[in-house]
Amino acid sequence: MLVHNSDIAEIFSEIADMLEIQDANPFRVRAYRNAARLLQSYAPNLQTMLQQGQPVPHLPGIGTDLMGKIREIADHGTCALRDQLRRELPPGLRQLLAVPGIGPRRAKLLHEVLGVDSLEQLADACREGTVAGLRGMGTRGQQRILQAVEDRLSKSRRFGIALATELADTLVRHLRASDAQAKVEVAGSFRRGRETVGDLDLVASSSRPTALIAAFAAFDGVGQVLAKGSTRASVVLRQGIQVDLRVVAPVSFGAALHYFTGSREHNIALRGLARRNGLKINEYGVFSAEERIAGETEASVFKAVGLPWIAPELRENRGEIEAAQQEQLPDLVQLSDLKGDLHVHTRSSDGRNSLREMALAAQQRGLDYIAITDHSSSLAVAGGLDADGLARQIDDIDALNAELHGIVLLKGIEAEIRVDGSFDLPDDLLRRLDLVVGAVHSKMDLPSERQTARILKAMDHPCFTLLAHPSGRLLGEREPYALDMNRVIRHARERGCFLEVNSQPSRLDLNDQYCMQARREGVMVAIDSDAHSVLDFDNLRFGIAQARRGWTGPDNVLNARSLTALRKLLLKARG
C-alpha cells in the first residue's frame, strides 16, 4: 500500500484532535500537530525511504516515539494509537471537526451538552437556536457554523493544493515509468493553479494506450476504479479524490491538454474566436473544414487563431485573450525570480528551527536573504517575543550575519495588530528593525468598518512595512474576516507600503482577484513562505502560482528585488 507523507500528516492531525477532545497533555497534542504540519511540506516520500533502508534525516520536533508511529503507518497505513482513540470516541465527533470554526473543544461541548453527533444534527441544533447558548458561540457564531455545515452538506468535497500536488506528482511519475512509453501532464484547475481542486485531470499520449490505462488502474493508491476503456479511465484514490485520464494520439496532445486545462469560459471564448476565423477547435485539434491544421502542441493551437501561448494560470476568461491579441500579456513571476523571503519564523516563537538552520536552508534554495519575523508577545499561543526577547534576537542576527556568507538575515517582527490598530512593541525598538510585518490573529469577528479601520491605522504607523495574510482566511477552515480589501489596497498605494501573498497552502492570501487589484493599483506584493521550519520554503511555489493567477510579474514583487534594491524600498516605506 502506497502511503504519502500527507497520509501520515492526516493521521497525526486526527490523533491530535482526538487527544485534545480527551483533554490530553497539551504538549503531547502540540507535538502531533507540529509533526503533521512539518510532514505536509516534506517532499521525499518517507515510506519509500524506510522500505529501501535509506537513512531518514533528522526532522525537527520528531523524536523516537513519533518516528516509530511513522514507521508503523508506513507499514500498515494506520497506527494502533489512532485505532484506539477512534474506538474510545463517538464517530460523529470526527465528522464535526471537519466544520470550519469547530475545533476539538467545541466538538466535545456540542456532543456532551446538546448530544450532537453528526453534521445533520448540528445543522438542526443551529436552526433551533440551541448552539447560540453555548459558551463562546453566540448568535453570530451559530449562523457562521450553520452556513459552514450547509455548505459542506451541499457541495462536493474539495482538496487543498498541497495534497493534490503530492498525489498528482506521484501518479504522473508512476505512469511515466510504466512500459507504455507515455507523455503525461496534469490538466484541469490544478494546472491553472487554483487554490483547491475537486478532481484531477490527466492528459496523455502513448503508442500503447491500453497498457497505459492498465497501469493507471493498477496504481497502488487507487481505492476504486469507476471506468476503464480503451482511451479513458476514471478512478478514485484512497484519499477520496477522483482522477480522470484521457489518452489521445500524439498529433492531438496539445489540443487535448488545452481543452482539458480549461477553464470552461476560456475555452468557449477561444472557440468563438476560432469560429470567427472559419476554424473549429476541439480536444483533437484545430480544423479548417476537415483538415487538422494544429494540435500537437498547445502553442500550435494558439498560433492557429493568431495568438501567442497563454499561461495556464491566466485561462479564466478575465481578459487574457484580449491582452494576447494586443500583445499585452504580462511577463508572469516565476519561482526563480525570488531573491528572498520576508516572512520567516524560528524557534524563538512558534518555529521549529534556529536562526542558522533557517538561513542555511534558504541559501540552499537559492535565496539571497530572509527576514526573521517571529511573532510578537500578544500572540501568547505562539510564544511571541516581548521587547527584551526581540532586542536579544536583533543582537543574535547581527552576530550571525557577521559569520554567514551568501545569505543575509534581515531583522523583523510579525507584530500583532491590536484592536485599536496599535502594535504591542515600543516604537524605539521597531525603528531598529529592517521591516515590520503587521498581522491580525485576534478579534477576527469585528464588523467590516471596525476591522478595516483597525488595519488602516496600523498601516499608518511609520514603521509599518507589510500586511501579512491580509484577509485572515484559512481555506476550508475559516472564512476571511469582514474587510474592505479595496480600501486596504488603495491605502497601501497611498501609504507606500506592501501586501503579502502568503504561500502557506492553507492560506494563499491574498487571493488571485486581489493580486490583480494590487497590480492595477501599483501596490507591490511580497510572496512569502511564512516558514515555520526549514521545509516550509518549498511552499513558495504555491504562492507563485497564486500570484501568477493574479497576473503578477516580477516587477510587482518586492522580494524579487536584489538586497540592495530591497533595502531602498524598505527605507522608503517608513512613513
Nearest to 6 by CA among 161, 126, 134: 161
Same domain, 413 and 541: yes
* Cell numbers representing residue 98 in the block: 471537519
Output the pLDDT for position 297.
97
Q: Which of 155, 159, 32 is nearest to 475 (CA)?
A: 159
Q: Are residues 222 and 286 in the same domain?
A: no
Quick one: 301 and 361 in the same domain? no
| CATH of residue 120 | 1.10.150.110
**String of b and e for 466-481 (b: at least 16 CB within 10 Å)?**
bbbbbbbbebbebbeb
Domain boundary among 325, 360, 375: 325
Q: Assess contact for 295 and 282: CB atoms under 8 A.
A: no
Domain final position from 231, 247, 263: 247
pLDDT at 471: 96
pLDDT of residue 380: 66
Q: Residue 330 falls within a domain, yes or no?
A: no
CATH classification of the domain holding 282: 3.30.210.10
Q: Which pLDDT value is given to residue 544?
A: 98
Write out the residue range of the structural domain in which residue 303 sits. 253-325
The Cα–Cα gap between 246 and 230 comes to 10
The CATH number for 454's domain is 3.20.20.140
**DSSP secondary structure, 277-288, as one string:** TT-EEETTEEEE
Question: 190: domain CATH number?
Answer: 3.30.460.10
**Degrees to nearest 5, angle at CA 335 with 48 and 367:** 90
Judgement on whether residues 22 and 43 belong to the same structural domain of the protein: yes
The pLDDT assigned to 499 comes to: 98
Q: pTM for the complete prediction? A: 0.84
**Residues 192 and 240 both lie in one domain:** yes
Residues 28 and 110 in one domain: yes
Same domain, 405 and 481: yes
Is residue 347 domain-resident? yes
* pLDDT given at position 575: 65
Is 297 inside any structural domain? yes
Asked, for residue 225, whether it belongs to a domain, the answer is yes
| Whether 316 and 351 share a structural domain | no
| Long-range CB contact pairs, 77-86, < 8 A, 24+ | 77/1, 77/3, 77/7, 78/11, 79/11, 81/15, 82/11, 82/14, 82/15, 82/18, 85/15, 85/18, 85/19, 85/22, 86/18
In a domain, 455, yes or no: yes
The CB density around residue 2, as the number of other CB atoms within 10 Å, is 18
Query: pLDDT 10s digit of each residue in the chain, 575 long?
Result: 778 888 898 899 889 988 988 888 988 998 998 888 888 878 788 988 888 888 888 888 888 899 999 999 988 888 999 989 888 887 777 778 777 778 888 888 888 888 887 788 888 888 888 888 888 788 888 888 888 887 777 656 789 999 999 999 999 999 999 988 889 999 999 999 999 999 999 999 998 999 999 999 999 999 999 989 989 999 999 988 999 999 999 999 999 999 999 999 999 999 999 999 999 999 999 999 989 999 999 999 999 999 999 999 999 999 999 999 999 999 999 999 999 999 999 999 989 899 999 999 999 999 999 999 999 987 766 678 999 999 999 999 999 999 999 999 999 999 999 999 999 999 999 999 999 999 999 898 899 999 999 999 999 999 999 999 999 999 988 889 999 999 999 999 999 999 999 999 999 999 999 999 999 999 999 999 999 999 999 999 999 999 999 999 999 999 999 999 999 999 999 86
Q: According to the model, what pLDDT value does residue 381 have? A: 67
How high is the pLDDT of residue 80?
A: 92
pLDDT the model gives residue 106:
85
Q: Is residue 23 part of a domain?
A: yes
Task: Look at residue 264 and tell me if it is in a domain.
Answer: yes
Say which residues have a Cβ less than 8 Å from residue 551's Cβ, sequence separation at least 6: 314, 330, 332, 515, 516, 519
| Residue 49: C-alpha distances to residues 56, 74, 199, 240 (Å) | 7, 10, 28, 25
Taking residue 496's Cβ as centre, other Cβ atoms within 10 Å add up to: 15
Q: Is 265 helix (H, G, I), strand (E, B) or coil?
A: helix
- Please give, one letter per residue, the 3-state secondary structure of 482-508: CCCHHHHHHHHHHHCCEEEEECCCCCC
Give 390-430 as a DSSP string.
HHHHHHHHHHHHHH-SS-EEEEEEEEE--TTS--SS-HHHH
Three cell numbers, residue 85: 482513540
Same domain, 433 and 383: yes
Q: What is the pLDDT of residue 154?
A: 64
Q: Which tens digits make up the pLDDT trace of 135-158?
A: 878 888 888 888 888 777 765 678
Residue 186 lies in a domain: yes
- pLDDT of 58 reads 82
| Total number of domains in the chain | 4
Q: Which residues pair with 247 in a beta bridge?
A: 204
Same domain? For 395 and 439 the reply is: yes
- 317-321 long-range Cβ contacts below 8 angstroms, 24+ apart: 317/263, 317/265, 317/266, 317/268, 317/269, 318/516, 320/266, 321/266, 321/269, 321/270, 321/273
C-alpha cell at 403: 559569520
58: buried, middle or exposed (CB in 10 Å: 19+, 13-18, 0-12)? exposed
- 259 and 205 in a single domain? The answer is no
Tell which of 306, 325, 344 closes a domain.
325
**Whether 413 and 483 share a structural domain:** yes
Question: What's the pLDDT at 98?
Answer: 74
